[in-house]
Amino acid sequence: MKNHTLELFPPAAPDTRHEPLEPGAWLLRGFALAVQMPLLAAIDRIAAIAPFRHLETPGGFRMSVGMTNCGTLGWVSDRTGYRYDPCDPLSGRPWAAMPRVFLDLARSAADVAGFADFEPDACLVNRYEPGSRLTLHQDRNERGYSDPIVSVSLGLPAVFLFGGDSRSDKQRRIPLQHGDVVVWGGPARMRYHGVLPLKEGHHEATGSQRLNLTFRRAG
């Protein structure tokens, strides 16, 4: 007798819709799933060269998100301010080169969102543990704002806050899952945004963490 189980209960398919958030901003659900394993392997290599660390803010607070970088420029923070640095201040050595799989993913996501020829030179790698959060901010340390930002989520889900051009503007809450990619640029480039405190959980790809890759043209 023929088994109809598959027809009656199709396996849950990953959600891969492309959702416009607002002019210049897209949520590409599941866009990074196909390369999740090489992405995670590359993050391990990057962190072996420049370990995750909790940077100090100019105001003297320790960031709850662990950070490292790859590419020709890396985003860092200390008591003197925020900046992009070609070298890891901990070692004095250059960051790991941007892996091919990172470049290809960032470029194709930017393309889908309508930003052709994106050539990121900086990739900030963020590691969230339960309770880690990113307060509302604008990304404004880059040399120019004509290029988009491409942000890749891996592991535990998080709630992304997406606001307006003023800190006090109302924010929408966007749940981000493993493999989701957010692209924003153009009229959305200077939106305030942040990440709510990560909830406890377990993800088969990352354990108790969320990893985020944020690609930029910084120099």
Q: Exactly one of 88, 139, 147, 180 binds Fe ion (CB under 5 A); which one?
A: 139
| Residue 151 binds ligand MD6, judged by CB under 6 A | yes
Task: Dump strand ranges (E) for 30-80.
Answer: 66-71, 74-78
134 sits near ligand MD6 (criterion: CB under 6 A): yes
Burial class (CB in 10 A: 0-12, 13-18, 19+), 56: middle
Least separation, in Å, of the C-beta of 139 and Fe ion?
A: 4
Residue among 105, 193, 206, 209 that touches ligand MD6 (CB under 6 A): 193
Q: Which two tokens stand for residue 35?
A: 């390369």
In angstroms, give the least distance from the CB of 193 to Fe ion.
6
C-beta atoms surrounding 6 within 10 Å = 8
Q: How far is the CB of 115 from ligand MD6 (least distance, A)?
A: 13
Q: What SS3 class is residue 193? A: strand
Per CB under 5 A, which of residues 160..189 are in contact with Fe ion? none
Can you tell me the distance from the alpha carbon of 153 to that of 19, in angstroms, rounded to the nearest whole number?
Answer: 16
Distance of CA 125 to the CA centre of its chain: 7
What DSSP character marks residue 144?
-
Contact 189, 118 (CB under 8 A): no
| Residue placing its CB nearer to ligand MD6 in the complex, 94 or 129 | 129
- Determine if 149 is a binding residue for ligand MD6 (CB under 6 A): yes
Residues 26, 75, 212, 217: which binds ligand MD6 (CB under 6 A)? 212
Please select the residue that binds ligand MD6; options are 42, 214, 217, 218, rule is CB under 6 A: 214
61 vs 93 by CB, closer to ligand MD6: 61
Question: Can you name the residues that pair with 27 across neighbouring β-strands?
Answer: 19, 182
| Helix ranges, the chain (H) | 5-8, 36-49, 100-112
Is 77 an interacting residue with respect to ligand MD6 (CB under 6 A)?
A: no
Q: Is 182 in the site for ligand MD6 (CB under 6 A)?
A: yes
Residues of this chain that bind ligand MD6 (CB under 6 A): 126, 134, 139, 149, 151, 160, 182, 184, 193, 195, 212, 214
Residues of this chain that bind Fe ion (CB under 5 A): 139
